[in-house]
Amino acid sequence: MFDQLAGRLERMMKYLRGEGKITEKNLGEALKMMRLALLEADVSYKVVRELEARVREKALGEEVLRSLTPAQQVIKIVRDELAGTLGGRQQPLRFSSAPPSVFMLVGLQGSGKTTTCGKLARWTKGVGKNPLLVSFDLKRLAAQEQLETIADSLGLPFYPMDAGRMAAPERALKELVLYAKSRAFDPLIVDTAGRLHVDDELMDELRMVRDVLKPAEVIYVGDAMTGQDAVRSAQAFEEKIGLTSVILTKLDGDARGGAALSIVSVTGRPIKFVGVGEKPDKLEVFHPDRMASRILGMGDVLTLIEKAEEQADLEEAEDLARRMRKQEFTLEDFKKQLVQLKKMGSLSGMLGHLPQVGPFKAIAGAELDERKIVHFEAIISSMTARERESPKLLNGSRRLRIARGSGRPVHEVNQLVKQFQDMQRMMKQPRFQKVLSRMK
């Protein structure tokens, strides 16, 4: 989403690095580049002007002007102010001291609100909670079926609100809370009605739900692809019912990213999660400082490490390191690593977390064929156990059989074997063995 913005801001940083010292003139030129980049990314004009004013004030301070590396100081100021615009620091979900904690999700129709309910429930389950999903929409009964289907696919409990219950909504909500409390469900994640636009009837309904449930979080779910429309809608929800936080969906799309940079300033509410894909696990905790670094092309290696840790099996990783030290790494081990890589998401998405400068630039901007992982996995699966243990057995006839079995051409089998042999040679190098020895 931020590729275009990152590219334009990188020009500003190159310009600053080429200046021996910071003056009002060259700083003004750099800030003009930043201003145009942000406006083209659909960031609110008011937000851009405020950000520019803060950067200018700090960049012309004595500490920067006297610094031995003034350009680096200014870039750091831009990063810090961008992080501040995005909320400053990561803010966790607020759970009630007396369960169940109620998370009420609000937003316009089509923003991904119902899907986000399922993702949020899955995330809370992953941190040791016992979530309960419920849909409360007085008009669209099909919303019940949609959320129930999502709950079933995730193996999570769902509380049905039939037409009889909906006839007395306030009583139904009170019964819901008692039900959750008696069965130790926490949190209670409530999907609410959506419309194509904000109207008084919708707001009256949402205020009633809020007043009865007294939620720990009223979360606005906004579609980042709609840009400033998402910001205006969030502002309307904040004014009419009051919000505590924001979840932005479709942050993996092709929009220009202005919503993320505007919504915190306009509503005064933090972004706590972002949706980065359609699958249930594609909900990420939002870190303003990390996002600011990514926007400036500095990467977000911490998030990449966290993703790897989520998917890694510690015992398996230690066993793999031991086998690599002893140079016992086989094609079966290679296949397991391909499976782990697939679980972490798309290669392009992972490389997007790497810095766009220095030695990482060529890797981060590489065009990768995601299908290669699937193809290599199919090729290894078509080998016998002995062939995986000892690739030296792979003569011409065996390679032809493997190619037919995997549905891939022979040259891909040869390519896989060559890459594996290159890896084995690399593992024998003293420098690589030294790194492995530290993993004991």
* Reported confidence tier of residue 312, pLDDT bands at 50, 70, 90: low
Query: What average pLDDT does the segment 182-200 reach?
Result: 88
| CATH 3.40.50.300 residue window(s) in the chain | 102-298
Return the SS3 of 423: helix
Q: Where in the chain is the domain with CATH 1.20.120.140?
A: 3-85
Predicted local distance difference test score (pLDDT) of residue 358: 44
DSSP state of 210: H
Q: How confident is the model at residue 403 (pLDDT cuts 50, 70, 90)?
A: very high
Q: Which of the residue ranges 112-116, 333-337, 365-369, 393-397 would you say has the lowest mean pLDDT?
A: 365-369
Specify the pLDDT at position 384. Answer: 93
pLDDT value of residue 342:
64
Q: pTM higher than 0.75, yes or no?
A: no
Q: How far is CA 28 from CA 148, 190, 435, in A?
A: 55, 48, 46
β-strand 271-275 against 283-285: which pairing, if any? antiparallel
**Banded model confidence at residue 406, pLDDT cuts 50, 70, 90:** very high
> Distances from the Cα of 132 to the Cαs of 120, 147, 348, in angstroms?
11, 11, 34
| pLDDT (0 to 100) of residue 370 | 65
Choose among 6, 78, 18: nearest CA to 364: 6
Which CATH topology does 304-437 take? 434 Repressor (Amino-terminal Domain) (1.10.260)
> Which residues have CB under 8 Å from 13's CB, separation 6+?
71, 75, 296, 297
What is the average pLDDT score of the chain?
A: 80
Among 33-37, 171-175, 418-422, the range with the most confident prediction by mean pLDDT is 171-175
Name the nearest CA neighbour of 187 among 216, 222, 152.
216
Residues 6+ apart with CB under 8 A from 427: 324, 327, 329, 433, 436
Domain boundaries 3-85, CATH class: mainly alpha
Contact, 78 vs 56, CB < 8 A?
A: no
Residue 411 to residue 110: CA distance in whole angstroms: 46
3-state secondary structure of 68: coil
For the chain, residues classed under CATH 1.10.260.30 are: 304-437
Of 279, 376, 301, 363, the closest CA to residue 333 belongs to 376
Residue owning tokens 């999907």: 191
Residue 77's pLDDT band, with cuts at 50, 70 and 90, is confident
pLDDT at 415 over 60: yes
Range among 111-115, 322-326, 358-362 with highest mean pLDDT value = 111-115
Asked if the model's pLDDT at residue 357 lies above 50, the reply is no
pLDDT, tens digit, 9 for 90 and up, residues 137-190: 877 767 888 999 999 999 999 998 877 777 788 999 999 999 999 999 999 999
Tell me if residue 285 falls in helix, strand or coil.
strand
Instruction: Report pLDDT for 43.
Output: 83
Q: Cβ(43)–Cβ(261) under 8 Å? A: yes
| Apex 288 CA angle, 287 and 292, nearest 5 | 120
Structure tokens at 197: 């636009």
pLDDT band at 365 (very low <50, low <70, confident <90, very high): very low
Domain boundaries 102-298, CATH class: alpha beta
Contact call for residues 101 and 131 (beta carbons, < 8 A) = no
What are 189's strand-pairing partners? 103, 133
66 SS3 class: coil
Which of 72-81, 180-189, 380-389 is least confident?
72-81
Tallying the residues shown for the chain, one arrives at 440
Tokens of 333: 């081990």
Q: Per-residue pLDDT averaged across 301-311, rounded?
A: 50
Instruction: Please tell me the predicted confidence (pLDDT) of residue 186.
Output: 94
- The helix/strand count (H/E) of the chain reads as 23, 8
Cβ–Cβ under 8 Å, residues 288 and 87: yes
Q: What is the 3-state secondary structure (H, E, C) of 71-89?
A: HHHHHHHHHHHHHHHCCCC
> Could you tell me what percent of the chain has a pLDDT over 70?
78
**Which of these ranges, 112-116, 164-168, 408-412, has the smallest mean pLDDT?**
164-168
pLDDT for residue 344: 59
Give the separation between CA 179 and CA 398, rounded to whole angstroms.
62
Centre a 10 Å sphere on the Cβ of residue 109 and count the other Cβ atoms it contains. Answer: 14
- Judge contact between 196 and 108, C-beta under 8 A: yes
Tens digit of each residue's pLDDT (9 = 90 or more) over 86-108: 888 888 999 998 899 999 999 98
User: What are the tens digits of pLDDT across the range 17-30?
Assistant: 777 777 888 888 88
- Report whether the peptide linkage leading into residue 99 is cis, meaning its omega lies within 30 degrees of zero: no
Instruction: Give CA–CA dist 148/43, Å, rounded.
Output: 37
φ and ψ at residue 272, rounded to 5 degrees: -105, -30
